[in-house]
Amino acid sequence: MNKPTSIPGQFDAVVVGAGFSGLYMLYRLRQLGLSVKGFDSAGDVGGTWYWNRYPGARCDIATPDYTYSFDPELEKEWTWSEKYATQPEILDYLRFVADRYGLRPDIEFSTTVTSARWDEQEKRWTITTGRGEEIRCRYYIMATGCLSMPKSPDIEGVGRFGGQVYFTSRWPHEGVDFTGQRVAVIGTGSSGIQVIPLIARQASQLTVFQRTPNFSIPAHNGPAPADRLKQLDEDRDGYRHAARWSRIGVPNEPTDVLGVTASEAVRRERFEAAWRQGELVGIVSVFADQLLNPASNDIVAEMIREKVRSIVKDSETAEALCPKDHYFGTKRPCLDTGYFDTYNLPHVRLVDLRKQPIVSITEDGIETADESFGFDAIVYATGFDAMTGALVAADVTGRDGLSLKEKWAAGPSTYLGLMTAGFPNFFMLTGPGSPSVLSNMAVSIEQHVDWVAGCLKDMREEGFETIEPTELAESGWNQHVQDCAAITLMPTANSWYMGANVPGKPRVFLPYIGGVDGYRQACDDVVGQGYLGFRLTGPDGARCRDGVIRSMQPDVAMVLELIATLGLPPMETLSAADARALMAATAETRPPGPEVGEVTDGVIPVPAGELPYRLYRPAAPPEGPRPLVVYFHGGGWVLGNLDSDDPLCRDLCARSGSVVVSVNYRHAPEARFPAAALDAFAAVQWVDANAIELGGIPGQLAVAGWSAGANIAAVACQLARDAGGPHISGQVLICPVVDSDMTRLSYDENGDGYILTTPLMRWFWDHYADPADRGDPRAAPLRGDLRGLPATCIVAADFDPLRDEGVAYARALEGAGVPVRLARARGHTHTSVTMVGVVISGAPVRAEIGQALSDFFPAPNHKSS
Ligand SMILES: Cc1cc2nc3c(=O)[nH]c(=O)nc-3n(C[C@H](O)[C@H](O)[C@H](O)COP(=O)(O)OP(=O)(O)OC[C@H]3O[C@@H](n4cnc5c(N)ncnc54)[C@H](O)[C@@H]3O)c2cc1C
């Protein structure tokens, strides 16, 4: 690949699509000296902006941001006339770019790529076009757009209408004059919201058919925002850098204001500022938690609904225009110019399809369940088969005859949204699994193109001919994409982000919501780690460094980043008293955990004195006694008290429906080994003896604990077995300490950087037990006799130094005939599973713990309803 391929019909690269991404890709490939051929079904460059010519079509990211930034000279030569440019102006811009860099000669217009087939022998793609041409290339790049495949309307009788039919996504080039016409618009997404006010200006009668009302804020269009232009003037590079490392590709100071805790005045002020600003970046970040916390989201949503009600005079229409079936931001929010005002015009009517669904399109109009409407024209603004539509429409066949359509039958699978296993040298620009439609696409497109160009350059320099992701890397990325979505409200909506607008399309969250910044870092890290997760081959051999680039839960990573910014001293450098004070201080700022029925404090008389306890009784029926769970907090036998694990105890109580008795035991260094373990056993004995008084069911008793608390819970079970009672139905050990040698692999892998570190664990052991005592099963229960122990649930977290101890205990218990449930806390640290209300991704693990506790006891199941 040193010289560009110059055989007729053979190219180094084929790029499909001549929109924002295809044009820049062509430019970069040419810069690399490659021979390139571009195709587009369209008659000219522009992509989105070639096709979507409906009146009112504009960008909704402000023009200083929705623009190429790769060439400072280009930036100087183009001036946008408005904050949100119209389609003709954006199309002019893309034409200008194509001409400025002489890109047109490489592109064949009005030509659709119908298929692409990988030839494993030749290590080349064969591309076939609708004109019957065949082209061979080494690299096949689909710059085919996320919103380029119009979705056909799924309405009965679509072909029947005898009047004029228009699609916003395929608008006639000569324009349409609706003067004096009776017009129907079906669909109220971004395009519908843009086109409706303009059609209303011409039509004699406009009827809008709405299935789902959408959130929209006024664009306040006008000159480009002065503040952004000023920043660009003063420091263009700095501004562009900030955009590239921002959350959505637009420079913006992230907020830490939480909707749920902010005062009413602050909430109002922040919302009104965003409303006045008229930019998506502002309205999606009124509160830091608005896409995570339903209560916070409701605050923003209700303020928008209030605005709609204040604009639209007819209260029934206003109510129908107020979105109530999805959280704000879980469907793409819109920017509008006079959209809601349009419904105050006498000749404009809204038909709520939730109340009167369309039965059929007829020859002269539309029939709903209640009415027949006559129209001269119908405009469909029914959206796109987003993100995957254009990719699977061309028949792409990779190695071993596998087609992309087949591979993605259950949803798209990609590595970084750039490539997919089984399809060597096939790149997607802004593919599923990348930030794409959740970002300013100008920034995301440039990042993808730069990545691909960099990759091809690296391959050339290192003598590789093919690149392809591994299955492991790809499934790891898919998991990460879904993990990122799962902690947000996004999957709750029937949105096109979820594929829900296309009948039969698999429901998976398509884009990557971890941020433009986080995504860019992941892509850079992949390259920095020698193309981690990619297999590269060439005449001199292959190279593959397999692995998963992001396996930590996203909210766990955020917590670690936040803690790192606090600059706290390592705990093992503190005295026990200072470490306790630090832990107490951090506990003060966290959310309280779920409500339970009743919380009471008491003391347990034990041989050594009195142990404080806190009892949590579930709120939900049934009335009457419940199983009992004796819980021991974590803290390395040195730290912790009844408050430290309070949210977790509430959570366990609410989930399991059991009475949870959290016991504070004696701590080291004041009371060293075996004080804590003996206290634990004494507490279990006392709770068992007082089951009825505590509201428990006699004989239905389990123990649970986290970390060192799990250590003494495990020991208490061994002591109870040896003492012939009390009978314990089960034990839940969350990230337990079960051995003292600190030699397992998880210490090597996770002993640094995840809060519980190897030095801290050593500090705990040194405070608790003399080296001579550490082999005693009451310190290291893994070394004890495990036969006859109760059913066990062990939680082992991926990023915990204690992970392999937990796993070893599970295996050893199984070997001793004990029923064991090993819950892998995927992507979690030693502490994160316990962070109730902070680490949302811990909820499924805690649900499993709650289930395990319920399962310890006989039916009737005591889970709360
Ligand atoms: C109305 C509208 C407004 C938008 N506004 C914004 C905005 O303000 N900000 C923002 O960030 N994003 C916006 N977007 C998203 C927009 O799609 C991207 O910003 C950007 O234009 C995408 O560029 P692209 O080159 O990746 O894809 P596209 O512009 O979609 O171009 C893809 C091209 O590939 C061609 N193609 C597809 N398949 C084939 C094939 N098999 N053979 C040949 N050619 C093929 C298509 O004809 C098309 O021309 C908007 C989208 C729409 C529809």
| Mean pLDDT over each residue of the chain, to the nearest integer | 96
User: Could you identify the atom of ligand 1 that is nearest to the CA of residue 384?
Assistant: 53
Q: Residue with the nearest Cα to atom 27 of ligand 1?
A: 145
Q: How far apart are CA 106 and CA 31, in angstroms?
A: 13
- Check pocket membership of 856 for ligand 1, CB cut-off 6 A: no
User: Could you identify the atom of ligand 1 that is nearest to the CA of residue 58?
Assistant: 3
User: Could you identify the atom of ligand 1 that is nearest to the CA of residue 440?
Assistant: 11
pLDDT in tens, 707-729: 999 999 999 999 999 999 999 99
**Which of 472, 395, 385, 501 has its CA nearest to residue 432?**
385
- Check pocket membership of 60 for ligand 1, CB cut-off 6 A: yes
Separation of CA 492 and ligand 1 centre (Å): 26
Q: Is the pLDDT of residue 392 over 80?
A: yes
Q: Is the pLDDT of residue 1 over 60?
A: no
pLDDT in tens, 9-40: 899 999 999 999 999 999 999 999 999 999 99
At position 77, the amino acid (one-letter code) is E
By DSSP bridging, strand 365-368 and strand 372-374 are antiparallel
Categorize the per-residue pLDDT at 401 as very low, low, confident or very high, splitting at 50, 70 and 90: very high
Q: Residue with the nearest Cα to atom 48 of ligand 1?
A: 47
Separation of CA 70 and ligand 1 centre (Å): 19
Residue 142: predicted pLDDT: 98
- Check pocket membership of 19 for ligand 1, CB cut-off 6 A: yes
Which contacts of 498-505 are long-range, i.e. CB under 8 A and separated by 24 or more positions?
A: 499/386, 499/388, 499/411, 501/151, 501/383, 501/386, 502/151, 502/385, 502/389, 503/154, 505/385, 505/388
Scored b (16 or more CB within 10 A) or e, 529-552 reads eebbbbbbbbeeeeebeeebbbeb
- Check pocket membership of 446 for ligand 1, CB cut-off 6 A: no
Separation of CA 164 and ligand 1 centre (Å): 26
- Check pocket membership of 449 for ligand 1, CB cut-off 6 A: no
Residue 860: predicted pLDDT: 57
- Check pocket membership of 42 for ligand 1, CB cut-off 6 A: yes
Alpha-carbon 185 to chain mean position: 33
Q: Is the pLDDT of residue 863 over 70?
A: no
Separation of CA 155 and ligand 1 centre (Å): 25
Separation of CA 147 and ligand 1 centre (Å): 6
- Check pocket membership of 112 for ligand 1, CB cut-off 6 A: yes
Query: Which residues neighbour 371 within 8 Å (Cβ) at sequence distance 6 or greater?
Result: 351, 356
pLDDT cut 70: percent of the chain above it: 99
Cα–Cα distances (Å) from 415 to 397, 420, 533, in that order, read: 17, 6, 8
Residue 607: predicted pLDDT: 86
pTM: 0.95
- Check pocket membership of 20 for ligand 1, CB cut-off 6 A: yes
Separation of CA 20 and ligand 1 centre (Å): 7
Burial class (CB in 10 A: 0-12, 13-18, 19+), 582: middle
Q: Is the pLDDT of residue 608 over 90?
A: no
Categorize the per-residue pLDDT at 623 as very low, low, confident or very high, splitting at 50, 70 and 90: confident
Mutate to test the pocket of ligand 1, among 140, 144, 281 (most ligand atoms within 8 A of CB): 144
Alpha-carbon 198 to chain mean position: 36
- Check pocket membership of 39 for ligand 1, CB cut-off 6 A: yes
Query: Which residues neighbour 569 within 8 Å (Cβ) at sequence distance 6 or greater?
Result: none
Residue 3: predicted pLDDT: 59
User: Could you identify the atom of ligand 1 that is nearest to the CA of residue 441?
Assistant: 11
pLDDT in tens, 63-112: 999 999 999 999 999 999 999 999 999 999 999 999 999 999 999 999 99
Mutate to test the pocket of ligand 1, among 21, 27, 41, 48 (most ligand atoms within 8 A of CB): 48
Separation of CA 268 and ligand 1 centre (Å): 36
User: Could you identify the atom of ligand 1 that is nearest to the CA of residue 40?
Assistant: 44
Q: Is the pLDDT of residue 442 over 50?
A: yes
- Check pocket membership of 66 for ligand 1, CB cut-off 6 A: yes
Q: Is the pLDDT of residue 282 over 60?
A: yes
- Check pocket membership of 191 for ligand 1, CB cut-off 6 A: yes
Q: Is the pLDDT of residue 864 over 60?
A: no
- Check pocket membership of 41 for ligand 1, CB cut-off 6 A: yes
Q: Residue with the nearest Cα to atom 9 of ligand 1?
A: 61
- Check pocket membership of 17 for ligand 1, CB cut-off 6 A: yes
pLDDT in tens, 734-748: 999 999 999 999 999
Separation of CA 149 and ligand 1 centre (Å): 9
pLDDT in tens, 98-141: 999 999 999 999 999 999 999 999 999 999 999 999 999 999 99
Separation of CA 144 and ligand 1 centre (Å): 7
User: Could you identify the atom of ligand 1 that is nearest to the CA of residue 61?
Assistant: 8
Mutate to test the pocket of ligand 1, among 148, 429, 439 (most ligand atoms within 8 A of CB): 148
Q: Is the pLDDT of residue 2 over 50?
A: no
pLDDT in tens, 799-856: 999 999 999 999 999 999 999 999 999 999 999 999 999 999 999 999 999 999 999 9
Alpha helix ranges (H) inside 660-795? 675-689, 708-723, 745-750, 758-768
Which contacts of 366-372 are long-range, i.e. CB under 8 A and separated by 24 or more positions?
A: 366/184, 366/207, 366/209
**Mean local confidence (pLDDT), 268-290:** 97
pLDDT in tens, 535-579: 999 999 999 999 999 999 999 999 999 999 999 999 999 999 999
859, 837 Cβ separation under 8 angstroms:
no
Q: Residue with the nearest Cα to atom 41 of ligand 1?
A: 113
Q: Residue with the nearest Cα to atom 37 of ligand 1?
A: 144
- Check pocket membership of 48 for ligand 1, CB cut-off 6 A: yes
- Check pocket membership of 436 for ligand 1, CB cut-off 6 A: no
Mutate to test the pocket of ligand 1, among 214, 395, 441, 510 (most ligand atoms within 8 A of CB): 441
Q: Is the pLDDT of residue 658 over 70?
A: yes
Q: How far apart are CA 119 and CA 332, in angstroms?
A: 40
- Check pocket membership of 143 for ligand 1, CB cut-off 6 A: yes
- Check pocket membership of 392 for ligand 1, CB cut-off 6 A: no
- Check pocket membership of 440 for ligand 1, CB cut-off 6 A: yes
- Check pocket membership of 87 for ligand 1, CB cut-off 6 A: no
580: tokens are 């306790």
Q: Is the pLDDT of residue 682 over 70?
A: yes
User: Could you identify the atom of ligand 1 that is nearest to the CA of residue 169?
Assistant: 53
In this structure, how many other beta carbons lie within 10 angstroms of the beta carbon of residue 237?
10
pLDDT in tens, 321-336: 999 999 999 999 999 9
DSSP symbols for 530-567: TSTTEEEEETTEEEE----S--S-HHHHHHHHHHHHHT
557: tokens are 């990573």
pLDDT in tens, 340-368: 999 999 999 999 999 999 999 999 999 99
Query: Which residues neighbour 150 within 8 Å (Cβ) at sequence distance 6 or greater?
Result: 167, 169, 170, 382, 383, 384, 385
pLDDT in tens, 490-504: 999 999 999 999 999
Q: How far apart are CA 254 and CA 287, in angstroms?
A: 9
